[in-house]
Structure 1
Amino acid sequence: MEFLTRTGKPLPQSVLTSAENAKKDPVSRREFLAIASAFGATSATAYGMLGMAAPARAAAHANLKEGGTVRMQMEVRALKDPRTFDWSQIANFSRGWLEYLAIWENDGTFTPGLLESWEINDDATEYTLNVRKGVTWNDGTAFTAQDVARNIEGWCDKSLEGNSMAGRFATLVDEETGKAIEGAIEVVDDHTVKLTLPKSDITLIPGMADYPAAITPEGFDPDTMLENPKGTGPYLPESLEVGVKSVLVKNPDHTWWGTEVFGGPYIDRLEYIDYGTDPSAWIAAAEAEEVDAFYSMEGEYIDVMSTLDGWVENEIATAATIVIRPNQLAEVDGMKPYEDKRVRNALQLAVDNAVLLELGYAGRGLVAENHHVGPMHPEYAEVEPPKTDPEAARALMEEAGMADYEHELFSIDDAWRKDTTDAVAAQLRDAGIKVKRTILPGSTFWNDWVKYPFSSTNWNARPLGVQIWALAYRSSEAWNEFGYASPEFDALLSEALATADVEARREIMAKGEKMLQDDGVTIQPYWRSLYNHTREGLVGAAHHIGFEYHPARMAWAEE
């Protein structure tokens, strides 16, 4: 049987080989679906390659009401240029009117958004992006290939501080100019864009689906995006009060392209309400019937919510995680305490990741191995797991001349991140390593999250392990909070990004995983299962694998 892309072309042999492996290994099934759909296969084709039927989307739910309001508990954060979005919550609000070229689904596949389809050649050096016809901006002007090309050029602009999209599209960036490579982005016609890469890169479609990749109009100004909310989506911002509440309302004057494709939009109004970081306040809001859905529920509060009548628990296993990392570039009192590899290795040796999973996240997940790639990623390679040896940790600290040094370990003040970081501090103390814990409110902690000398940070899931490495561990990237700069690791990553065959990429990843472990870059202790709760009858608001919520998919079912 021949398996084809959306445009009728055969899928590469590397994808067909991955399908055979995924049939034998159910754990890698979701990741195969990501690879196949990234290469242009429809969901039905990708599932068919596994001998399975594609599941129905939530939007296909029968008997959905038109109208109504949904109230969701979620942090309400300030807007800024989407390329610098560093929290999913920001995008969940702007997604009402700023949309995406592709959408990452919970099963791992990518659904075309403002793109109708795409084609990628066998070695992933040429991308043909087919722009959806009939889409208009909400001021009535046509959405064209020029809009797509302009946004991709903007993603490649390294001069914009905090632009993490430049990391996702690094293959298209000219190292000398810090801009898109001249001639690499070609507008073929009004509905076709061609990308010509200097080397293979399999991650561009997943990158287009990530939350900082919102498509903005010509002349976009982040300072006026509330007053002038030009976009292609079906909603408009009514209000935004940081830390309190933000509201989206259906745009009655815009004919949304997605109605014919997905159905909807259904609800008239979506309210994001900020109850702070203490989950006990969220529970109180549920009991007072002030909310209909939760962004994400954590720890013991998952069980509490499950005792309340009228609520549905939603769970999904993911590659979301936490890192407790020393920053190799950070100075403390005129010295760089974590520049020394022995100090970083000592911190890892003192900590048992299984204990962190149990104490920090009530065991709801999988133990990880300090290299930020897991068995849910297609290119994951089995390497020796990290060892726990408090005596060896103490000896290394003494050897480094740091036996009497007091480490200050920072974290946010919420439940699971605080609890996990507390458990790290306790194990370090048990190993004879001095630790001072500093706990900060979110409003303070996130201002300079990449700069703390020693702190914990949560990371969202990404479809591919190489995506995470490119964002977090490549030298000088905007989100590299580790201060890690290794030319050898960068070279391995470049090779992995350019290798379409999963088995070949896995061999490269094994070297990189071992390198991150040996260099003591981070304590990355576990992978999280994610939970949220929604009121009975609410459709389209279950927990997303990447913490995304799509207003146009939310609806109340007929009783």
Structure 2
Amino acid sequence: MTFFTRTGSPLPKSIVDSAASAGDSEVNRREFLALASAFGATAATAYGMLGMATPAMADGHKTGGTIRYQTEVRALKDPRTYDWSQIANFSRGWLEYLVSYENDGTFKPQLLESWEVSEDAKTYVLNVRKGVKWNDGSDFTAEDVARNITGWCDKDVEGNSMAGRFATLINADTNKALDGAIVVTDSHTVTLNLPGADISLIPGMADYPAAIVPASYTAETALSNPVGTGPYKPESLEVGVKGVLVRNEDHTWWNAGNGAYIDRIEYIDYGTDPSAFVAAAEADEIDMTYSIEGEFIDVFDTLDGWVNNSVVTAATIVIRPNQLAEVDGKKPYADKRVRQAIAMAVDNSVLLELGVAGRGVTAENHHVGPMHPEYAELPERKVDPAGAKALMEEAGMADFEHELMSIDDAWRKDTTDAVAAQLRDAGIKVKRTILPGSTFWNDWSKYPFSSTNWNHRPLGVQVWALAYRSGEAWNEFGWSNTEFDNILTEALATPDVEARRALMVKGQALVQEEGVTIQPYWRSLYNHTRDGLVGGGHHISFEFRPAEVAWS
């Protein structure tokens, strides 16, 4: 049987064939749905290929009211440089996305009406939704889409992580988009002509730094001139305290009737101590939480009138040595033996238990997991504290005191504490430094030895392209390895899952053997919402969508 995309073109045979291997595993099904929809299949088609019905949407949305949302409140900046989901969750009120990623694994059209990907993944045809207007009254067209993609490809913009997602379209000599790569075919069609295949572009468009901005956008005027296509506008933003969105009554939203139910959304910052979230809930100051970890999940479960929402994800933490960082004039983590010793001393199952109370599954220090379609199983890692100490001595670092840094919140602090304890048990000297969030995130990518959390991403190759490829804005490991880069380039160009897995096993083993990071576990995520709140359940990628929440 032939299956088709939204535009009527047939899906690639490799995608169709992979439906049969999705089996009964929820994880495998979700990742198949991601692949099929990334190539342009509707959710109904993708579910039909699995012999399943499309899940019913929640009903009972009431128009009006206020929602009080516990979350960190951060300063706005150029979306390409967003490095924290909370920034996007506020600007999402008026800055929308071409594509959205759903908890079931599917990609859903937003400002794009549909898209078509050639079987060799070298040509993308993006069909821009008609009838969309910016809230200043001007038309939203293919020119706007092309301009944003061109901006994503500007590697000279400091902190532009979108350049990592769209590296295939970038000219390495100019650090700008390749000539002829982004073509406005007509007023509502953009064609992307890739020099090499890349299966990750649609998933990249759904990531939180991919907010679509007008030509007039500047970070300095984001609040005073909030031009966007979405149904809300910012009323106020006080960093670290509170932000407020209100429905934009002067703007006719393209999706009117299917969202924007709430009149007013208050983003309230209670810091990073989960006990403050509990106190706020008990005092009736909030209606939903951003995310809750560890024992505080159980505490919230005892509160009357609150609902537990959970989702299985590829969200994680990395505890990484920065290979480029200098300490007292030396680069201690440029020595592979030092990195290997650190990883060798740590039992990831202990970090899972002490960090998030066992709510998740252990990982293997290469940032690809069973929830990714291309994951390849490696031999079990061996924990060897004595061998770690000997390796550190061999590197001449037996007397070196490592300063291990983390943010001051619960699960990240607890996980990092557990790393320090195991390193000390192995005879490796460690000093712990714990910083408040307002300080920690200023230089998160530059610390010599620290922990950082990472969001779920649909494909393993996406994570690698963002964080592990040489020279990327989010490569906090300071790692540059030509062999790995070549493996990744080939994997990004391989739509067939089994063929890609054969490449991934090489890359996974290389990341692990190089001691690039301790990436200890995959998290199950939890948040809580008040009874009667619809659309506030935990998103797999930490998204909060103002247009989708409502009181029932």
Give the TM-score band, short-chain normalised. Answer: over 0.9
Q: CA deviation at 1:17?
A: 1.7
Q: What one-letter code is carried by the residue in structure 2 that aligns with 1:20? A: A
Task: Give the match for residue 497 of structure 1.
Answer: 492
Mapped to 2, the partners of 1:121 and 1:128 lie a distance apart of 9
1:56 matched residue in structure 2: 56
Aligned to 2:94: 97
Alignment of 1:227-238 (within 5 A): 227-238=224-235
The CA distance in 1 between the partners of 2:119 and 2:544, in whole Å, is 33
2:312 and 2:224 mapped to 1: Cα distance? Answer: 38
For 1:323-334, what aligned pairs fall within 5 Å after superposition?
Answer: 323-334=318-329
The residue aligned with 2:139 is 142
Task: Please give the alpha-carbon distance, in whole angstroms, between the structure 1 residues aligned to 2:514 and 2:391.
Answer: 14
Matched ranges for 1:346-357 at <5 A: 346-357=341-352
C-alpha displacement at 1:24, in angstroms? 5.3
State the percentage of identical aligned residues.
74
Matches within 5 A, 1:254-273: 254-259=251-256, 263-273=258-268
Letter in 2 for 1:117: S
Deviation at 1:27, TM superposition (A): 2.8
Say whether 1:66 aligns with 2:63.
yes
Count of matched residue pairs: 552
Shift of 1:25: 4.2
Cα distance between partner residues in 1 of 2:272 and 2:63: 33
Of 487, 501, 506, the match for 1:506: 501
Partner of 1:30: 30
Give the letter for the 2:510 counterpart: M
- In structure 2, C-alpha distance between the alignment counterparts of 1:28 and 1:77, rounded to whole Å: 35
Aligned mates of 2:37, 2:431 — CA distance in 1: 47
1:68-467 aligned at under 5 Å gives the runs 68-259=65-256, 263-467=258-462
* Unpaired stretches in structure 1, ≥5 consecutive residues: none
Q: Does 1:539 align with 2:534?
A: yes
Q: What is the aligned partner in structure 2 of residue 39 from structure 1?
A: 39
CA distance in 1, matches of 2:170, 2:506: 26
Contact kept? 1:22, 1:32, Cα under 8 Å:
yes
Q: Report whether the alignment pairs 1:2 with 2:5.
A: no
Q: Distance in 1 between matches of 2:149 and 2:341?
A: 42
Q: Secondary structure at the match of 1:385?
A: coil
Distance 1:347 1:23 in 2: 38
> Any conservation in 2 of the 1:76–1:274 contact (CA below 8 Å)?
yes
Cα distance in 1 for residues equivalent to 2:403 and 2:222: 39
C-alpha displacement of 1:2: 2.2
Displacement after TM superposition at 1:259 (Å): 2.1
* TM-score normalized with structure 1 length: 0.98
Deviates more, 1:91-100 or 1:12-21: 12-21
SS in 2 for 1:381: coil
- 1:118 is aligned with what amino acid? W
How far off its partner does 1:57 sit? 3.1
**Aligned AA (1:332):** V
Structure 2 residue matching 1:427: 3-state secondary structure: helix
Q: Is the 8 A contact 1:73 1:282 kept in 2?
A: yes
Equivalent pair of 1:33/1:107 in contact (CA under 8 Å): yes
Matched residue SS, 2:511: helix
**What is the deviation of 1:535?**
0.3
Which residue of 483, 487, 490 maps to 2:482?
487
Partners of 1:216 and 1:277 lie apart in 2 by 30
Deviation, 1:81, is 0.2
Shift of 1:258: 1.3
Which digits, 9 at most, give the CA deviation of each residue in 1:304-343, with x for residues without a partner?
A: 0000000000000000000000000000001111010000
Query: Secondary structure of the equivalent of 2:23?
Result: helix
- Cα deviations across residues 390-432 of structure 1 (Å, max 9, x unaligned)? 0100110110011111100000000000000000000000000
Instruction: Determine the C-alpha separation between the residues in 2 that align with 1:406 and 1:500.
Output: 46
Amino acid at match of 1:7: T
CA shift, 1:54, in A, is 1.1
Question: Distance between the aligned counterparts of 2:412 and 2:198, measured in 1?
Answer: 33
Deviations 1:428-483 (A, max 9, x none): 00000000000000011000001100000000000000000000000010000000
Match of 1:530 among 514, 525, 528: 525
The Cα shift of 1:385 comes to 2.8
Return the alpha-carbon distance in structure 2 between the equivalents of residues 111 and 259 of structure 1: 17
1:385 and 1:154 map into 2 onto residues whose CA distance is 43
Q: Report the secondary structure of 1:53's partner residue.
A: coil
For the residue of structure 2 that corresponds to 1:338, the secondary structure is helix
Matched to 1:159, the amino acid is D
C-alpha distance in structure 2 between counterparts of 1:265 and 1:452, whole Å: 41
Distance 1:516 1:56 in 2: 41
- Runs in 1 of length 4+ with deviation above 6 angstroms? none
Shift of 1:23: 2.4
Name the structure 1 match of 2:545. Answer: 550
Q: Is the 8 A contact 1:320 1:528 kept in 2?
A: yes
Letter in 2 for 1:464: L
- Provide the C-alpha distance between the structure 1 equivalents of 2:462 and 2:220, rounded to a whole number of angstroms: 30
CA contact (8 A) 1:69 1:269 kept: yes
CA distance in 2, matches of 1:330, 1:179: 28
SS at match of 2:216: coil
Displacement of 1:8: 1.1
Structure 1 contact 370–386 (Cα < 8 Å) conserved? no
